[in-house]
Amino acid sequence: MSKPKVYVTRLIPDDGMKLLYEKCEVTLNPHDRVATREELLAGVKGQDAMLCLLTDKIDAEIMDANPNLKIIANYAVGYNNIDVAAATQRGIPVSNTPGVLTDTTADLAWTLIMATARRAVEGDKFTRAGKFKGWGPMLLLGQDVHHKTLGIVGFGRIGQAVAKRATGFDMKILYYDKFKMPEVAAKFGAEYCELDELLQRADIITLHCDLNESTFHLIGEREFGMMKKTAYLINTSRGPVVDEKALVKALQNNMIAGAGLDVYEDEPALAPGLAELDNAVLLPHIASATRETRGAMARIAAENVLAALEGRKPPTIVNPEVWKGN
């Protein structure tokens, strides 16, 4: 019997590739770079399944290039790169990789919190440049993180994991989410606030919401104007949640003290002026980038593909309403 066909838009770790190779005929984009639009359109044709990345824009045109697609499995927890409504309309299941990257992403948000507030990257550059001439009472003064107020925007799995870590730093925790979660919040002593109040009270604001119409440019000029001049903004969610041009202005004009970013509005491009700022720590979208987590994400993405191809409900389907079987 011939094996089902799966198109993988870019190499992912072996944990997932092995599962696919065992049971499927795999077409892998041979280039270790983001697939072009043309490659995606050609690659999806004649396949039973597609395993794609957050850097692939999967819209109706791609779906219509192959009316027999049985699943679009995203290798990410966020799936704003996929037009889920279009997939649902066409009865195509879409899956993501939730859960396995929660702690890893929370760890990186904390890396950015510490690195910005304690000026770790500036300190590293300074030391390597041979500028360190001995201990100095005024050298690279940052701000304390412990006992400060942390404002968490988006109190889902990752936001809560960030809160858990904050309890070890004796922080006051505020959270904003479209849902109030009094029981979960009580575990961390977290207090619910409307966004404007959170922005005014927090010393460190960390973003963990999905990107959708209501969160696009959630943080812009008006919001920077509300934050404390000593506040830090951390973003490990999705770039367009922040108006990046407004952020650059806020950092240039010292409206806030600094920012720690892992994601950008127009990745991989940076807003003009951002790279020149010392009060920004900039990482290349690596929040989930550990061997363990990327391996687990690969396994989950492959398991979703195999489930759909074998007529089982994909374990982490995001549009379950399309699933008619068991």
Q: Is 78 in the site for ligand DGY (CB under 6 A)?
A: yes
Q: Is 51 in the site for ligand DGY (CB under 6 A)?
A: no
Burial annotation 69-108 (CB, 10 A radius, 16+ → b, else e): bbbbbbbbbbbbbbbbebbbeeebbbbbbbebbbbbbbbb
- Cβ proximity to ligand DGY: between 47 and 105 the closer is 105
- Cβ proximity to ligand DGY: between 77 and 190 the closer is 77
Instruction: Find the binder of ligand DGY among 63, 71, 101, 306 (CB under 6 A).
Output: 101
Judged by CB under 6 A, the number of residues near ligand DGY is 7
Q: For this structure, is 31 an active site residue?
A: no
Cα distance between residue 6 and residue 320, in whole Å: 21
47-50 CB contacts, 8 Å cutoff, 24+ apart: 47/5, 47/6, 47/7, 48/4, 48/5, 48/6, 48/24, 48/309, 49/4, 49/5, 49/6, 49/7, 49/24, 49/73, 49/305, 49/308, 49/309, 50/6, 50/7, 50/9
Instruction: Find the binder of ligand DGY among 20, 54, 185, 309 (CB under 6 A).
Output: 54
Residue 142 CB, nearest approach to ligand DGY (Å):
27
Residue 226 CB, nearest approach to ligand DGY (Å):
27
Quickly list H helices, 10-119: 14-23, 37-44, 60-64, 84-89, 102-117
Catalytic residue among 238, 244, 294, 299: 238
Q: Pattern 232-271, binding to ligand DGY, x per CB under 6 A?
A: ----------------------------------------
Q: For this structure, is 22 an active site residue?
A: no
Residues with catalytic roles: 238, 267, 285
Report the interface residues with ligand DGY, using CB under 6 A. 54, 76-78, 101, 287-288
